[in-house]
Amino acid sequence: MTALKEYQRLEASGLWRPTPDAQRTEVIVSIGDATLIISDMQERALTHWSLAAVARANPGKRPAIYHPDGDPGETLELADDEKDMIAAIEKLCAAIDRRRPHPGRLRLVILLAVLVIVTAGAVIWLPQAVRRHAVTVVPQVKRAEIGAALFRHIQQETGPPCTTPEGRAALDKLAQRVPGPDGPGYLEVMREGIDGTIHLPGSTILIGRGLVEQYDEPDVVAGYLVAERLRAQVQDPLAQLLEASSVWASFRLLTTGDIDDGTLDAYADTLLDSPGVTLDTQTLLSGFEAWSVRAAPYAYALDDTGETTLGLIEADPFADGAPPALLSDSDWLRLQAICGG
Region of 316 please: left (phi>0), alpha (psi -120 to 50) or beta.
beta
285: exposed, middle or buried (C-beta count within 10 Å: 0-12, 13-18, 19+)? middle
Same domain (yes/no): 47, 120: no
Q: Pairing between strand 186-190 and 204-208?
A: parallel
How far apart CA 313 and CA 294 sit, in angstroms, is: 9
- 26: helix, strand or coil: strand
Q: Is residue 341 part of a domain?
A: no
The dihedral through the CA atoms of 326, 331, 335, 337 has a sign that is positive
Residues 130 and 143 grouped into a single domain: no
Q: Show the domain range for 59.
A: 2-99
58, 204: one domain: no
> Could you tell me if 183 and 313 lie in one domain?
yes
Last residue of a domain, one of 99, 115, 150: 99
- Distance from C-alpha of 96 to C-alpha of 259, rounded to nearest angstrom: 62
> Does residue 265 surpass a pLDDT of 60?
yes
Per-residue pLDDT band at 250 (split at 50, 70, 90) = confident
How many structural domains comprise the chain? 3
Same domain, 174 and 318: yes
Nearest to 4 by CA among 41, 50, 66: 50
Q: What local confidence, expressed as pLDDT, does residue 104 receive? A: 63
- Percent of the chain past pLDDT 90, that is, above it, reads 50
Whether residue 65 is found in the same domain as residue 170: no
Query: What per-residue confidence (pLDDT) applies to 176?
Result: 95
Q: What is the pLDDT of residues 278-321, one digit of tens each?
A: 899 999 999 999 999 999 999 999 999 999 999 999 999 998 88
DSSP for 129-168 reads HHHHHHHHH--HHHHHHHHHHHHHHHHHHH-SEE--HHHH
